[in-house]
Structure 1
Amino acid sequence: MHVHRTDPGHGAEVLSLAHVDHLLTETAIRTPAVRVARDGSVLPEASYTRGGSLAGKPLTGLVDPVKLMRLLDEGATIVLQGLQRYWSPVGDLVAELELELGHPCQANAYLTPPGAQGFAVHSDSHDVFVMQTHGTKMWEVHGDGGPGDLLLEPGVVAYLPTGTPHAARAQESVSLHLTIGINQLTWRTLLQREVGRLLAEVPDEHLPAGYLDDPARLADGLADHLAALADDVRRLDPAGLAAGQAEAFLSGRPPRMAGALLDRDALTTGITADTALRRRSGHPCVLVDDGDAVRVLIGDRVLRIPSRVRPALEHVATHTRLTPGELPSTDAESAVVLCRRLVREGLLEVAR
């Protein structure tokens, strides 16, 4: 376990008690975005949800704030799951962390009333960052030296490696903390994918009859297939596979288009050489040469842009804020055309 102290106000900027109040009481949030636990058990959805309708169509799993607050008063912990999907500040944090680590991440938040504990001692199958954003919570963390206590308060971030047994109890006030789980990509996963592709090319023929009495009948054929597979493995290109893995990750993240409607409105009123633009949070901008074009990996997809504007793209890749007029090796009109496209695609946004 590792503990880091930072600005106490930073966590509340990402997810505050007021933010959670808004999500739970003013929006049509539904399960499975919310679950509830008490004394180590997950409560049935019917105990905190209701039905409804929209345009004549039935809706199920709507969170009932009256039922939910009653359960909170009775000591239940409210869990907001997959927050990165519907709360932009958490989504920005998760997207930036994914680019730093190269691993998929997800975020949950835990709202626990004073003195309560939502879950018994347990361990997770992934690494976890824990950020306390409101109140305090005492964590019981089990390591090689036995259990130890750690008090988390706003500004304290803890890192728990995979498999670390832990439990946590709120102290004198309601506690809110954010956990970011790291869904690790592993060597085994990468090798299974590539070797599995080679195995799929092995002929799916029957084993020879009679091998039960004479297993040696399998030996020659097995030796041939193993040798062929070994040769195929040796021919794999590590550099190419590594580049492919990076490109797949940098073009397969969830879309991030917050503000896209406002940007389109700005496009109709005009973007000039002096318009202030910025890279959208959580978007990479990685350039891959591809003949007479450049593939631009922007997170959720790949753009293909003529290679003659590569210097301008390099400027975009290395600057979080810019204007079209700053782009090198291109005239003002071409720079504006390029920036308009990058705004439409979501890599850039108009600074507001």
Structure 2
Amino acid sequence: MQTLTELLHPLPISEFFDKYWAEKAVLIPGDNHQKFANLFSWQKLNNLLNYYPLKHPEIRLAKAGETLPEITNNEQIIKQCQEGATLIIDRLHEKIEAIAKMVALLRIEIGHRSQVNSYCSFPGHQGFACHYDSHEVFILQISGRKHWRV
């Protein structure tokens, strides 16, 4: 896998570093809806939730821009998600092999430590208000549809 090349395709890596890296956002629309399907899926999420001992705060819910109090009951987590909460799982690269490999390769290619978090929302719901991150971010839309303002 040529990680950075694949993430940025069709934008050349040299153009990305010259024009965008640490300067401004770039949107690279995808024409292949399965481009990152090998990294994460609803099945992998279900496996993670069913078989991995996730604990707060590495797993949490956000709704209307606020982090919700800790919920340990899976049925309550599902109910909150159906009612508009976003499910957040931190450090996914420590739990999913394909993501761990991608992060390791990215560290070599960009020279910076990386971390992968997941944000899962039901259709029509928004977990966070408009905000910005103070660090560089790659957003990979794995499944579904979302309206992004970059």
TM-score above 0.5: yes
For 1:27, the aligned partner's letter is: Y
1:332-347 → structure 2 map (5 Å cutoff): none
For 1:100, the aligned partner's letter is: E
Q: Which residue of 2 aligns with 1:120?
A: 129
Paired with 1:74 and 1:8, the residues of 2 have a C-alpha distance of: 26
Does the alignment pair 1:3 with 2:27? Answer: yes
Paired with 1:67 and 1:22, the residues of 2 have a C-alpha distance of: 18
Q: Is the 8 A contact 1:25 1:65 kept in 2?
A: no
Paired with 1:20 and 1:31, the residues of 2 have a C-alpha distance of: 16
Q: Structure with the greater relative contact order (CA < 8 A, sep ≥ 6): 1 or 2?
A: 2
Which of 70, 90, 98 aligns to 2:79? It is 70
Paired with 1:122 and 1:116, the residues of 2 have a C-alpha distance of: 16
SS state of the match for residue 116, structure 2?
strand
Paired with 1:31 and 1:100, the residues of 2 have a C-alpha distance of: 32
Paired with 1:31 and 1:22, the residues of 2 have a C-alpha distance of: 18
Which of 16, 31, 35 aligns to 2:56? It is 31
Aligned-pair distance for 1:88? 1.2
Paired with 2:83 and 2:49, the residues of 1 have a C-alpha distance of: 17
Aligned-pair distance for 1:9? 1.7
Runs of 4+ in 1 over 4 A off after TM superposition: none
Gaps (5+ residues) in structure 1?
50-63, 142-352
Higher strand share: 1
Count of residue correspondences? 125
Aligned-pair distance for 1:85? 1.3
Q: Is the 8 A contact 1:33 1:82 kept in 2?
A: yes
Q: Which residue of 1 aligns with 2:67?
A: 42
**Superposition RMSD in Å:** 1.4
SS state of the match for residue 8, structure 1?
coil
The percentage of aligned residue pairs carrying the same residue is 34
For 1:41, the aligned partner's letter is: E
SS state of the match for residue 79, structure 1?
strand
Q: Is the 8 A contact 1:82 1:106 kept in 2?
A: yes
Which of 109, 114, 134 aligns to 2:143? It is 134
Paired with 2:146 and 2:114, the residues of 1 have a C-alpha distance of: 23
Aligned-pair distance for 1:8? 2.5
Paired with 1:7 and 1:100, the residues of 2 have a C-alpha distance of: 23
Does the alignment pair 1:14 with 2:39? Answer: yes
For 1:85, the aligned partner's letter is: E
1:323-334 → structure 2 map (5 Å cutoff): none
Aligned-pair distance for 1:33? 1.9
Cα pair distance change 1:86/1:10, threshold 3 Å: same
1:10-39 per-position Cα deviation (integer Å, ceiling 9, x unaligned): 311100111111111333222222111001
1:124-146 per-position Cα deviation (integer Å, ceiling 9, x unaligned): 110110111110100122xxxxx
Q: Is the 8 A contact 1:33 1:81 kept in 2?
A: yes
CA radius of gyration, larger in: 1
